[in-house]
Amino acid sequence: MMTAANAWLPDLRRSVDNLLLHKLRSLLTMLGMIFGVAAVLSMLSIGAGAQQQVMAFIEDLGVRNLIVEAKETTDRQVWAKVRQQSPGLSFRDVRAMQASVAGVDALSPRKRFTPTKLVPKSQGDTPVVYGIDPNYLSIGGLRVIGGRFFTAEEAAHADAMCVLGEAARLNLFGVDDPIGRYVKVNEQWFRIVGLAGPQAVAQGDVAGVPAQDRNNVIYVPTSAAILRLEDNNSSIRDEIDGVYVRVKPDADVTAAAATVRGILSASHRGADDYALVVPAELLAEQQRTKRIFDIVMVALASISLLVGGIGIMNIMLASVLERTREIGIRRAIGARRTDIVRQFVMETTLIAVAGGTVGLLVGASLSRAIASFAGWSTIISSGSLALAFSVSVLIGLVSGVYPAMKASRLDPVEALHYE
């Protein structure tokens, strides 16, 4: 073990001294690895953040849930054309699902409104009103963090009460406790009885689920939404615009989804005026996409770092010519080919390790900056750190082998006479 150390340490010191002797050249050689590693780490962190956000959103939808979304339009000509074929999403569809879908655990229709007036006035984006049944509390995985949710009896009486999502509460009341107070939606006052906890949000549409901040919502009973709230476009809207279905743990989600498709296809006469979202299928598809994404990122990592490796090889080949006499002297006093190879490979390894380390720091800083200024979610995992660093070191090693072999094959006599 001491013999191995005695053989490596002098070469290590010699490599460090040579790199420090040409500081600017060493730094420029490292730049390819630095920017390559930084770019790879940034891409992986942004991709992982986006993937996690979508995965969390899908999981929050509920893997045992089925969601039906109406495809509504405000264009009267389009609406009239669709209505010649389909009556739109309605309570009749809800009753058919309750009667025909095997293993239904809970079900809630939804009637959604965008208020034209709100009191107190919203300090941010206008909250959306969701008319839903009390069953939605368990179907949607809502957590009541203050007060309570409205009961089935209160919903049946169309009582004017509501539960605020987290963002809706902040937009309307700031940090004040709103429970027991009132919010005026259009011309109707609703008493606030509860507060809902935060929910995962997707940045855009996800397979039929429209982009909507599910925290910026005012939940009211379905009957109260239909009876009490005015809507300018109510004449061309579906009776309801969504249905949430949760199946029992022992039920087949795929079979339940097929039954729902059959019911809607029959009642809507094949019209494409609704979308059926199956979160379990979305989750499986997203996991497959994530695996493909990871493979693509590995390929991109190899390509981007290959540029840095070519730069290292180019500089080391130039260094071989520059140090021909040095190599000749070392060979003349007894250095073996393996000693020459070890020295040059060690230099490239030092360049790759130093460049990779600085690249990780730059990449992590860049990811944080992107997250801060662009508002994107980024995740720096140990796997992405290990991947970026290990690929940089590997390419550095490979890039140094050819110059090292070329240096070791130099004839000592010719090397000593080289000018």
Residue in 58, 118, 21, 81 with CA at minimum distance from that of residue 323: 21
pLDDT of residue 202: 60
Residue 82 CA, chain-centre distance (Å), reads: 36
Cβ-proximal residues to 380 (8 Å cutoff; 6+ apart), any chain: 41, 45, 48, 364, 367
Determine the Cα–Cα distance for residues 309 and 299; give it in Å rounded to an integer: 15
Domain residues of the chain, as ranges?
Answer: 9-57+285-416, 72-272
Residue in 19, 60, 43, 4 with CA at minimum distance from that of residue 302: 43
Cβ-proximal residues to 68 (8 Å cutoff; 6+ apart), any chain: 89, 93, 242, 243, 244, 245, 260, 264, 274, 275, 276, 277
Determine the Cα–Cα distance for residues 351 and 18; give it in Å rounded to an integer: 11
Determine the Cα–Cα distance for residues 53 and 204; give it in Å rounded to an integer: 11
pLDDT tens by residue, the chain, 419 residues: 445 455 567 667 776 777 777 777 778 778 878 888 887 788 778 777 777 766 666 666 667 888 888 887 777 788 788 888 888 899 999 999 989 988 888 899 999 988 988 999 988 889 999 999 999 988 888 889 999 999 999 999 999 999 999 999 999 998 889 999 999 998 899 999 999 988 876 655 555 565 567 889 999 999 999 988 866 556 678 889 899 998 888 888 888 889 999 999 998 888 888 888 887 777 777 777 777 777 777 677 667 677 777 777 777 777 766 666 676 777 677 767 777 777 777 778 888 888 888 888 888 888 888 777 766 677 787 877 887 788 778 877 777 777 777 766 766 656 555 55
Q: Is the CB of residue 312 less than 8 Å from the CB of residue 348?
A: yes
Residue 126 CA, chain-centre distance (Å), reads: 26
The Cβ-side half-sphere exposure at 245, using a 13 Å CA radius, reads 31
Task: Return phi, psi of residue 150, to 5°.
Answer: -70, 150
Q: Under the phi-then-psi rule, with left for phi > 0, alpha for psi from -120 to 50, and beta for the rest, what region is 172? A: alpha
Determine the Cα–Cα distance for residues 384 and 247; give it in Å rounded to an integer: 38
Whether the upstream peptide bond of residue 120 has omega within 30° of 0, thus cis, is: yes
Residue located via tokens 């509501």: 162
CA angle 372, 297, 285 (to 5 degrees): 90
pLDDT of residue 239: 86
How many CB atoms are located within 10 Å of the residue 292 CB? 9
Q: Is the CB of residue 46 less than 8 Å from the CB of residue 378?
A: yes
Determine the Cα–Cα distance for residues 376 and 52; give it in Å rounded to an integer: 12
Distances (CA, A) of 96 to 86, 173, 267: 16, 41, 9
3-state secondary structure at position 220: strand
- State the first-to-last Cα distance of the chain, in angstroms, to the nearest integer: 39
> Would the pTM of this model clear 0.75, i.e. be above it?
no
Determine the Cα–Cα distance for residues 64 and 129; give it in Å rounded to an integer: 25
pLDDT of residue 402: 73
Q: Is the CB of residue 173 less than 8 Å from the CB of residue 26?
A: no
Determine the Cα–Cα distance for residues 44 and 415; give it in Å rounded to an integer: 47
pLDDT of residue 109: 93
